[in-house]
Amino acid sequence: MAVIYERVALIGLGLIAGSMSLAMREAGLADEVIGHARSPETRAAAREIGLVDGVAETAAEAVEGADLVVLAVPVGAMGAVAAEIAPHLKPGATVTDVGSVKQAVIEAVAPHMPPGVHFVPGHPLAGTEHSGPHSGFAALFRNRWWLLTPVEGSDPAAVERLSVLIRAMGANVERMDAAHHDLVLAVTSHTPHLIAYTMVGVADHLKRVTESEVIKYSAAGFRDFTRIAASDPTMWRDVFLQNKEAVLDILGRFTEELFVLQRAIRMGDGAHLHDYFTRTRAIRRGIIEAGQDTAAPDFGRSLTAGEVAKP
């Protein structure tokens, strides 16, 4: 395919940025991909495996002359990084991010963007529980959704150019209001992660069930919870703190539903339980029919590719 951006700067070299680099270089979508990570160990690992064309020692150095800058750091760090790189951004460059929260990121990043630089917030709905420079793979975004939440006054040409890149990496693009994005993700990702962390924590604190029993007899449900709960703790700490209103709203609704189910179990109301589970089962069918998972007994996850939709 044709080159879409001559020089791309990736700030942060974890799963998402690493996968972007591999996808862009595999398809010839950028002439040069430069990366930077705060940790010297991460920078050294990225150099060792050739994750990018070049590794910069600072974020400011990485963005010099870049046509596209991708902020792939925890959402709590976005504002500080934006302030650091702002004086070094090329006029006409596009800055995007891959954070799981959008309103807080826009509030943190937009004030630092110089005139003539196009800020187009984004969020790829793809990932695995793995992190770090060794975790990326070029196929991560194939048939996944990548949501863009343009800010007021966003340049349509810049938004479209970024959309072309995303599609060329295999993803589907949709534009969404930032507030609505945060509510949708609170339902589909953030609150489910919080529930998974909680259930694994319950097992850890339940002294009548030993750790060896939890590990040895893990059925599919709990095993899947542990996969989710193995996700990067810094990233998820920031997600919950930055999207707390939407998460607390959905968590409150979840608690109400849970109380109804508790009552049905206590009262032996099998009809209510069967009807509830029948309705919720349809959601799973819809996900499979939409091509976002498969009906395979491994829940659609490949040990080699690791393609799991996540924030």
Alpha helical stretches, state H, 1-93: 15-27, 40-49, 59-63, 78-85
Look at residue 89 in the predicted model and tell me its pLDDT: 98
| pLDDT tens string 266-309 | 999 999 999 999 988 888 888 888 887 777 655 445 544 444 43
Q: Which residue, 148, 147, 155, 142, is CA-closest to 115?
A: 155
Spatial distance between the Cα atoms of 209 and 57, rounded to a whole number of angstroms? 48
Look at residue 290 in the predicted model and tell me its pLDDT: 81
Beta-ladder partners of 46: none
Task: Quote the pTM value.
Answer: 0.83
Spatial distance between the Cα atoms of 73 and 56, rounded to a whole number of angstroms? 15
Q: What is the DSSP string of 91-144?
A: TT-EEEE--S-SHHHHHHHGGGPPTTPEE--EEE--B-S--STTS--TTTTTT-
| pLDDT tens string 42-89 | 999 999 999 999 999 999 999 999 999 999 999 999 999 999 999 999
Taking a C-beta distance cutoff of 8 angstroms, is the pair 24, 53 a contact?
A: no
Spatial distance between the Cα atoms of 96 and 159, rounded to a whole number of angstroms? 10
Burial of 256 from C-beta contacts in 10 A (0-12 / 13-18 / 19+): exposed
Domains defined for the chain, CATH in brackets: 5-177 (3.40.50.720), 180-289 (1.10.3660.10)
Separation in Å, CA 205 to CA 103, 148, 194: 35, 40, 16
Separation in Å, CA 172 to CA 126, 128, 167: 11, 18, 6
Element (H, E) at 146: strand 145-148
Low-confidence spans in the chain with pLDDT less than 50: 299-300, 303-311
End-to-end, the C-alpha distance of the chain in Å comes to: 28
Tally DSSP H helices, then E strands, for the chain.
Answer: 13, 9
